[in-house]
Structure 1
């Protein structure tokens, strides 16, 4: 059967389109990375080996080394206030004056009573001396001698009591002048002139010391055991060189700019939280740090050791694992599962998973596939320039009470 001219044209056009599609598909399959295509170019380098030290990271709060709530030692009406809210005061500076007139009157009365007791005791002493001489001459009875002796003892006791009362009343007068018990920064006044205050009850103000200041934190039982094991093994840094140094940064700071040292670890682990309380002392000469501030502290956790470091970009996340790609002698890519440590100078510490001579892909990781060949370009692991590179979280091992940090030893 003969086909019409139109039908023949349509069949020829369909065959041409089909041939073009097959050519385009074949060209796509033979592109870069496919069978027969050029191997992708990657940059490889061996891990950087350098001395580093581990630091354990904690979150804590600053506390005053000394904090005193000022309360009156006598009851009365406030006569004057002699400081400004929030100013610094030295120990002994006058803060408040309680109306001293009632106490001065009581002191005067006690002094008068002491004077009378002193006169009575003098008379009793003279009477007893005379009776003692007469007894030697058998001019008085033994009963009269004993009576005068007892009278003298009573008068001397009354005099001692009166003098003690004078001392107590003098202290009351002195206590009407409320002074700063320690040197530090004052809080605001809690009472006003004319307020009646009660001895030992009414809070008047508080004063706290700021230099030095304490940083208080809690550490996990695991961290405590780690330190104890390290102390037994002798792998902790020598306290003669740097006695448990700490570095602290505040919430709005990126660098650990505050320096201090450990001065206390509690004697028991809290049964409820499973943590133990520690404390560091920090110099604060300008008074910038104030009690209540939160901070991030790192405590020296090890002596210097040789660590392996690779760029953060060389680490690939494979589900729950961290992986680096290495290139073998035959230029075939192979994965290595890593156990990572913290960042040091912008590079990631590798605890395990790599060898010192492994060629790690540090650039072009996205183009590499396990089991495929690549073209290799030699490179070198160097710390990134400030302000460049990835910004991963500083803590990679939760929780905060057992996290680790590290840094390189000073060059």
Structure 2
């Protein structure tokens, strides 16, 4: 059977999904982009208030730029740092408009399989196309036959729980009304009411946590009585503030420096070595309890920015080769595993690292990183360029990788969070650059 007569389905109309569509259109391949939200870049719009670490020059896919240049689109200042809202309205929405009917909103993908074969069946599998099951906003189900599936759905919809063992803490679900799993917009009127004058626990050690700390430190200055407690699983703050002046993403380095100033000035209380196991109600407040029995003073609100994880449930009928720890493609996982890399080493990669046993199925973007915490938009653009080239049969282009990523200058992997991190070698030690988290920090971030 000639699978080339069928479209390539892209799941998710975010930055990487739309870039994949632009690459497909440029190569003359039929594409369909299914977006569960009622607008393109729905996840990006949810963190509209966050400013990215990367400049505009690192946020626009080359094929997307070539497509947009055919319209009256005005490219933003390449040296500017956009907010999530600006990224969505000044680039991603115009790109979706240029792609036209390729993009289908309010369409959730709920399953992918090999036509007529569940994952157990070998016979005839290589001769059948893929089928993609979708559900529209009104609940109507559809089946789409596809040549290939590029999953760029990200991880935004699956935040990691508070519980340090990867499961929700006992009592976490019951306390959901007091827990936010995103960096809150503290200019929003409802959030001002929610957090002003309250005691807030921020959980997490990544750039999202630093963003929250900086935001709340400033918020506390204009809203007296607001107090912030930073709760870390690692045994010491160590390198959690990042690379500072050594970071080639200057805005990311500056964020860490601002967070350190807030802590050093006493605006943020730090608790280390605390692995949450239970959350208890104390009237309208919450008490965090660690697995060693430690109890923190009650707080009014919890901001849990402890990472994200991929939703693999609707891919259960295709054969994915995933690393047991990170839930990332097995060939990619060793490059991004925080338990192994003290310098966050990752090099640009493509179809070679993203191929699975199930032919024609590719996880790209943040989804491809599984539970690894950091990602750079440029990395995703390079991924989809390579994947689409392979789908088109241009194997020479698929194997070619031409991309230089910014060096983080930060040493010390997340796998050492129980131990104080030595400062030895900090500052530009990394031979190859670390990626930066794509969707979860604040001013500025990427």
User: TM exceeds 0.5?
Assistant: no
Q: What TM-score bracket applies, with the shorter chain setting the length?
A: under 0.3
Structure (1/2) with the larger strand percentage: 1
- What is the TM-score normalised by the length of structure 1? 0.21
- What is the TM-score normalised by the length of structure 2? 0.20
